[in-house]
Copies of this chain bind each other. A is one copy, B any other.
Amino acid sequence: MSELPIGLFDSGVGGLTVMKEIAALMPHENLIYLGDTARVPYGTKSPDAIQQFSIENANFLFSQNVKLIVIACHTASAHALNIVQASLPIPILGVTTPGCTSLLAETQTNRVAILATASTIASKIFDKLLKSQRPNIELYPVACPLFVPLVEEGLQDHESTLLLAEHYLGHLRAKQIDAALLACTHYPLLRCSIQRTLPGVALIEPAKACARTVQQFLQEHNLLNTNNKSPQYQFFASDDPAKFAVGAKKFFPSSVATVFSLESCSQILLPSRQLCEGRNRNDSEETHFAH
């Protein structure tokens, strides 16, 4: 058993969908979440940048004494899982593999779509992961760059969102797919528009599968926290903790009294070794969220 917290990071608030499923499945775990809101979005950035940002984020969580890190962002998982695993002496899990497991369990026709950011699609990670398990699978990967800003603007149900879903996905109706992986943490919020564009197609959200993978890993390694009656949830944002808190409270209404700021945006941007030198608690100042 380990009482150390689980760490999660994402480019923004999207990864909170994963944190929520982990909290639901493992209610005794302490959790620390970092949203890299100073550099959001990742989905349009280069592999080099995403790898560097991911290492810096993971090093920050490592400095907070976490027992395991979940990369709760598909773009970062696609490009940086291996490199982060190689750089730190604690287990690192991503969201791409659990998503693939769910998708393969769902499809009957072996004709599936992957909806993701431009950078995730460009990584070809899903081709690799899915074809290694099911060589005859037919993949239709689609980058949908406007989906994230549409969600962030709260325009999920606007007429333009349906038009843009048709723009990105309309051609898939001729492909006889039976399942589509929503491989970006924002996309489940567009489920309604996506489903109207792809009627009859099963839309797969990886957050629950990711939480089960984390639970299984902790069980197998005797790291589950089983006796903790008052789990602590901590939130950090690299920019604008007050704005982050507004988003986070939608997922954790009773837990987000406070979001910690990184003292300045550059704190997590320091060379990795500087954040790795000690494993002492970070001395960032608390930023109280005005209710």
> Measured between alpha carbons, how far is A260 from B39 in the docked complex, in Å?
21
A239 CB within 8 Å of chain B: yes
A152, B44: Cβ atoms closer than 8 Å: yes
**In the bound complex, CA of A155 to CA of B166 (Å):** 14
Residues on B with beta carbons closer than 8 Å to the beta carbon of A160? 160, 163-164, 167
Chain B residue at smallest Cβ distance from A271:
B266
Please count how many residues in chain A sit with their CB below 8 Å of the partner chain's CB atoms. 34
- In the complex, the answer to whether B163 meets A159 with C-beta atoms within 8 Å is yes
Asked if B264 and A52 sit within 8 Å, CB to CB, the answer is yes
> How many copies are assembled?
2
A243 at the binding interface (Cβ < 8 Å): yes
Scan A162-178; emit 1 where CB is below 8 A from any B CB, else 0.
01100100000000000
Task: Across the interface, name the chain B residue whose C-beta is closest to A242.
Answer: B46
**Closest partner residue, chain B, to A159 (CB atom):** B163
Residue of A153, A167, A270 with highest tally of chain B CB at under 10 A: A153
Q: Which B residue sits closest to A56, measured CB to CB?
A: B266
Of B52, B163, B264, which one neighbours A266 at CB under 8 angstroms?
B52
> A150 to B266, alpha carbons, bound, how many Å?
29
